[in-house]
Amino acid sequence: MTTILKVENLSHRYSSAWAIRDINFEIGQHGVIGLLGSNGAGKSTTMNIICGVLNQTEGNVIINGINKKDNPRLAKTQLGFLPQTPPLYTDFTVSEYLTYTADLRFMDKKLIKKAVAEVMDKTGISHFSSRLIKNLSGGYRQRVGIAQAIIHKPKLVIMDEPTNGLDPNQVIEARKLIREIALDHTVLLSSHVLSEINLLCRDIIMIEGGRIVFSDTMDAFNNYAQPKSILAVMDSPPPAAAIQSIQNVTKVEFLSDKQCRIWFTGSSDITQTIIAASMQQDWKLKEISLEKSLLDDVFKQLSGF
């Protein structure tokens, strides 16, 4: 696997307090990787250091084999960044702005016109090339922001809350565009919307208290916390109180006449206990299954709430 981003022993201190400490991870080629963390966890500090907004106190950031500390200008040519509020000059036309951002990245002037046309086509804004950015909707402004982040064909694209403030239709379009970009680029995406992370991301990195508390696949994140509820379907269900009297059952909620959700503590062997009770009392149990932990529950457990 080709390593696009390598973070080694990354630490940063504000005054006497460490914001992050010994952050280590590697990201390979293509796909979307989610970056999670509660407010104040160190996520923004980590992103700002990777993007070159901050210089780290200790450690290294290596982008496509280039150490940002040794050669920051060359490293940044491998990087595209979409901050939470896109850095748009609203009195520019779309074409003027993208030409300007390409020039800022020291692209060969002979290649800029073609690059602007290609990136406008890719992000679906070609028909607005001559329109002032201030006259665009929020969704199209976001597309312009994405376009400036990929115009120089960087290996790594970092996006901070890329669907923030968009309406539902714009969110769908933005997510589709992010998936398309991830076919050619490695995307590091930060979002507080866990459902968005679940839809888009292949892997997850989560930072809490300035340290990495999780780094694995999306499936592993979904299965991190032990399930604490069961769904059961019975042809002759008893009253909720009868089920709740079973040891370790804490709550019972009927979702329909025959289906109920059963909360429990302790081991998942509770399923065997419920099966045995059904056989003894003729509840005619038809289906029983453990529910996956909710993403919010996993996040809370990892963040210590």
The DSSP annotation for 81-95 comes to EE-SS----TTSBHH
What's the pLDDT at 92? 98
- Pair of tokens at residue 71: 């050669």
Q: What letter does residue 253 receive in the DSSP assignment?
A: E
Residue type, 265: T
Strand partners, 290: 230
Using 50, 70 and 90 to split pLDDT, how confident is the model at 268?
A: low
Checking if the pLDDT of 304 tops 70, the result is no
3-222 CATH pick, 3.10.310.10, 3.40.470.10, 3.40.50.300, 1.10.3720.10: 3.40.50.300
Average pLDDT over residues 264-291: 88
How far apart (Å, rounded) are the C-alpha atoms in residues 9 and 70? 16
Report, in angstroms and rounded to the nearest whole number, the Rg of the chain calculated over CA atoms.
25
Place of tokens 């996956």: 292
State which H helix or E strand residue 143 sits in. helix 138-150
**Nearest alpha carbon to residue 295 among 224, 191, 231:** 224
Q: Residues 143, 145, 148, 150: what is their CA dihedral angle, to the nearest 10 degrees? A: -60
- Pair of tokens at residue 256: 């329909």
Using 50, 70 and 90 to split pLDDT, how confident is the model at 305?
A: low
219-244 residue pLDDT tens: 888 777 666 788 999 999 999 999 99
Please give the mean pLDDT across all residues of the chain: 91
How far apart (Å, rounded) are the C-alpha atoms in residues 150 and 95? 14
Q: What letter does residue 108 receive in the DSSP assignment?
A: -
Q: Is 253 exposed, middle or buried (0-12, 13-18, 19+ CB in 10 A)?
A: exposed
How far apart (Å, rounded) are the C-alpha atoms in residues 273 and 265? 13
- What region does 165 belong to: left with phi over 0, alpha with psi -120 to 50, or beta? left
CATH number of 229-303: 3.30.70
How far apart (Å, rounded) are the C-alpha atoms in residues 196 and 190? 10
* pTM for the model: 0.78
119-152 residue pLDDT tens: 999 999 999 999 999 999 999 999 999 999 999 9
Residues found in the chain: 305
Q: Of 81 and 220, which is predicted with more confidence?
A: 81
How far apart (Å, rounded) are the C-alpha atoms in residues 265 and 179? 39
- The reply to whether 229-303 shares the fold of 3-222 is no
Domain ranges of the chain: 3-222, 229-303
Whether 80 contacts 152, CB under 8 Å: yes
Whether 128 contacts 147, CB under 8 Å: no
- Pair of tokens at residue 170: 């714009």
- In the chain, which residue ranges form alpha helices assigned H by DSSP? 43-51, 72-76, 94-104, 109-123, 138-150, 168-181, 194-200, 218-222, 240-244, 270-281, 295-303
